[in-house]
Structure formats: C-alpha cells, structure tokens
Amino acid sequence: MRTRVLFINRSYWPDSEATGQLLTSLCEGLSTELDVHVLVGQPNIPASDAPLNKTEVRHGVTIHRVGHLTFPKRSMVGKAMNFISFVLACHRRIWSLPRPDIVVFETDPFLLPLVASRFARKRDCRLVGYLQDIYPDIAVALGKVRNNWLIRRLRKTLFKIYKSCDRIVVLSEDMKTLIAEGGIDGDRISVIPNWADTNSIRPIPGDNPFRTRNGFDDKFVVMYSGNMGLTQRLEQYVYAAEVLKADSKIQFVFVGNGANRHSIEQLVSNRQLDNVCFFDYQPLTELSASLGAADLHILPLTAEISRCLMPSKLYGILAAGRPYLTTAPAWTELSKLTVKHQIGFRVDNDAEEIAETIRFAAGRTAELRQMGKRARKLGQSEFSEQNAIARFLNVVTSLNSEAQAAPSQARKAA
C-alpha cells in the first residue's frame, strides 16, 4: 500500500500564485509514488474546469477544496477574514478526510500549523512543516505588526509546533539557521529549494513575441515579474527608474499583481515616469516569452527578511536563461549564489547604485548573454522540478523508516 500524504495550503491549481503553482507541480510529481491528497482553498481566479466545494482527482492528486471568504487582498481586514475563514474551514473538513500517514502543512496562512499539529496528534500521523516563509518573523521585519507580547506568544506557539514536527523543510540555509536558532534540532531540518519547470520555461531563440508585441525590441528591458507585495520593497526600483528617465533606451517593466501594486503604480504616476509600465500576470503558456523578454531581471531581497524566505522568482529567471540584479545582502545565500556562478549583479539597496549598475549592464549585452547561459545551466542542474520531487520523496522515505523505530514527534509532544 502506498504512503498517503496530506498537504494543507490555501493556494493550489488553478491559482497563478507561486506557492500554489509550486505545490501543484510537487504533488503531481509525488503522485507517481505516493497517495497524495491536498486540502486547499478557493482559487483566486476560478477556472471553468475547477470544481469548488468538492473533492476531485486531477493528475493523480485528490483535491479537497473548502469554501471560505474571498475579500480583495488590498484590505488588511478583508485579508485577515479570508485567512481566518480558511483556517476554520480546514479545521472542520480535515476530520472527515481519509487518515494520512504524513501531514504536511505550509504557512499560507501562518495559522495552518495549529490545525495540522492537532490533527496529527489525534490521528497519530507524522507531521512535516513545509515553510515557504517564517512567521511572525517576516511580519515583524516588514513592520506589518509590532513585536508585542501577543506576537511573541504567537511565535512561541508556532515554534513549539515546529519542534514537535518530525521534519521541517525550508528553502535555504539562511532559513534553516533561523529555525535552528528557535531550538529545532538541525538533523530534522531539510533544505529543499524551490524550482521552476525547466522543460516548459526555456530560453526563446530569435525574436521574442512579448517584446515585439509591446514595442520593446529596441529597448533594454529591466523587469520585475511576480507578486507585488510588501516583502518585495519595489519603491527603490521606481526611484532608480527616475534616475534613468532621461535614457530612452532603458524600459522598466513590472509584471504581476499584489497588495502593493496600486501604491507602486501611484508612485510611478506621481513622478510622471514614462519609462515604467505594468502588466498583469501572464498565462503559464506565455512564461518563456514574458520572462525571456527581460535583458535584466530585478530580484529584491532586503536584510530584514533575508532569513525568512527565499524568492521563488529566482528559479523562473534561471530557467528562462536570463541574468538578474539583486539587492540581497552580501552574506545571504542568494548573494553568494549570484557571485559564485556569475549569473547576475549584487548591489546595495540604493536607488543610485541600482541605476548605475543597470546603466553599466545595458552596455554589456555580450556579457549578459553569457550570464544567461550560466543561469540556464544552473537552473537545469540544481533547481529543477525533478530534483525537488526526488528530495521531497527522500524526506517521506526517511520518515517511513523512522516510523519503524520510534513514535512520531507530534505524538510525543501530545
């Protein structure tokens, strides 16, 4: 009998959000070896063939979708109500699902560990925390919440759950360090980086249809592609665009949506910047063209949040074979990766320095092409979907082996 694994996360197919896309490809890849179930929320943009409030099987994965509130994300109150209603819906629905051998919780939203840990204890399941980011640390770092007694209590509760997990999976060594500092045994922390599908996202030889369609063929395109939320801190790149506004060759392109897009658009409008434009998320079938349209990608990462997450957009950039500019601090894994493999530029988070580096890069197209080739090679060898699936399968296999010798951490913590 195959091992049954239940993943819990708000976002899943057909969502365009990174966490949903990644979880979908991971679960579908694991389904060839495991009996995979997912407990997920309502799609942000429902597809005509995405049934709501029911169970279905898609590409080998059994999807259990719950109903919850879906207020616009721009409202903090609405966003909180969405998350709370999803957590409550999961708590109601999970008890009616077939008992899994392993429960894997993500942190979208960050209260999911409360549901998963209680269920794992009661149902005697192995418990895995799959952390795409680390809360409440990231919220405190961004200034979204104050580090008061309530937040400190929440952190203590979440880290107690992490300590009870049979395994914690994080995206980078920086995240592993932060989790280990919270008292979690390093031997129970696995680093599995995110990825991109290097078969569906690939360099486009010759003319790029996204560039041609939007009049960018004679431009040096500097692109940010992805979620425009508070973690990205995109304002500095708008200020860099203002420094470069006299150079008609350089075009800034922002692709995506998010809670902070409106304020970024307003900032661009207030400064009357004609060298900045915006596009919505592109269809998955168009990712090679949209990502490949950039001469240089933007990859923000500030010091405050660098140990709380690893930007998933890195892997799409690598798959597309494009170089990037990052503002990650020099000591971070992202910065070291960039320098070691010579696939981009690392600068301080300063508008003048960002602008100067873009101006420098715009005059070195041959060097950028070589960076892009190295980026593509690295994406294929180290950050492919197949590698991530194999690493996650190893985690499941090791948990099955441990189950023969010892009770689960979650049960011991009960």
- Give me the tens of pLDDT residue by residue for the chain, a chain 414 residues long: 899 999 999 999 988 778 898 999 999 999 999 999 999 998 876 554 555 558 999 999 999 999 888 777 667 777 788 889 999 999 999 999 999 999 999 999 999 999 999 999 999 999 999 999 999 999 898 888 888 999 999 999 999 999 999 999 999 999 999 999 999 999 999 999 999 999 999 999 889 999 999 999 999 999 999 989 877 889 999 999 999 999 999 999 999 988 889 999 999 999 999 999 999 999 888 999 999 999 999 999 988 899 999 999 999 999 999 999 999 999 999 999 999 999 999 999 999 999 999 999 999 999 999 999 999 999 999 999 999 999 999 999 999 988 766 666 655 655
Q: Which residue has the tokens 């939203």?
A: 109
Predicted pLDDT at 411: 53
Predicted pLDDT at 409: 63
Predicted pLDDT at 16: 74
CATH of segment(s) 209-382: 3.40.50.2000
Give the three-state DSSP class for 190: strand
Backbone angles phi, psi at 238, to 5 degrees: -65, -40
Predicted pLDDT at 342: 98
| CA 180 distance to own-chain centroid | 21
What is the model's pTM?
Answer: 0.89
Predicted pLDDT at 74: 66
| Ranges for all domains in the chain classified under CATH 3.40.50.2000 | 4-195+384-412, 209-382
What is the CATH architecture of 4-195+384-412?
3-Layer(aba) Sandwich (3.40)
Q: Write the DSSP string, 68-117.
A: -----TT-HHHHHHHHHHHHHHHHHHGGGSPPPSEEEE--SSTTHHHHHH
Predicted pLDDT at 48: 45
* Terminal-to-terminal C-alpha distance of the chain: 28
